[in-house]
Chains A and B, each alone.
Chain A
Amino acid sequence: MKLSGMSTLQGRLTSHDIRAVAARLAHPEDPLAEWHFEFGEWRKACAEFQQMERDNIVAQQKPSALALRQHRYVLFLLLTHGEELALQLMQTPVVKESEKKRLLEQTDAFLGTLTDSWHTWHGQVLPSHREALSGFLA
């Protein structure tokens, strides 16, 4: 057996890993205990992303190419992880459908916020749309 990739045997668990295990063990009766932990961590990352966006994009007269690319990179990471959380939730058995629906709506609100950020800062601006809105922007 190759052990080099087994971080648990080499003492390489991160604090995040340990907290996820603790969450699962603290609530053994809850099939979503670890999911809730991950959801909370993801939401914290989303909040940090908002701070990054405010400092590096909003506050800048002209954001640098590096800042825009970093913004896009973190956006993709957060979107991917959020979709993973949604998929895990949908595929978790023994959870009431109403509870899944509630949590999916919450996950989608964060995903929607991230998607709106994508369209805002990386979407294509069409002159015809600017013209249509010009009377409201003056």
Chain B
Amino acid sequence: MHAALEEIFRLREGRDLEIDPAVKTELHARFHERLEQFLREHNLKMSHAEFLAATREDYRNWRRNPRT
């Protein structure tokens, strides 16, 4: 898996599991900023929502075994 995608998955997992509201606010913004940067850098024509749906199984597999 591309290092940038793994970074995005890690940011997303960290954001999801965070319960402190101030920290979560920061992590939520950081996750979407990084995802936007990735989509722009690689000229990928899809929304954040479409990216999340398209990578569903990859995210599931990564969560089940994060080191692969």
Among B22, B44, B59, B63, contact of A132 (Cβ-Cβ < 8 Å): B44
Contact between chains at A50 and B17 (CB < 8 Å): yes
Is A74 an interface position by the 8 A CB rule?
no
Shortest CB distance A78–B (Å): 13
Question: Footprint of B on A, CB under 8 Å?
Answer: 39, 43-44, 46-47, 50, 54, 57-59, 105-106, 108-110, 112-113, 116-117, 119-121, 123-126, 129-130, 132-133, 135-138
Sample (24) of A-B pairs whose CB atoms are under 8 Å apart? A43-B21, A46-B19, A58-B63, A108-B25, A109-B24, A109-B25, A109-B28, A112-B28, A112-B32, A113-B16, A119-B52, A121-B56, A123-B50, A125-B56, A126-B50, A129-B51, A129-B53, A130-B54, A132-B44, A132-B46, A133-B44, A136-B2, A136-B4, A137-B58
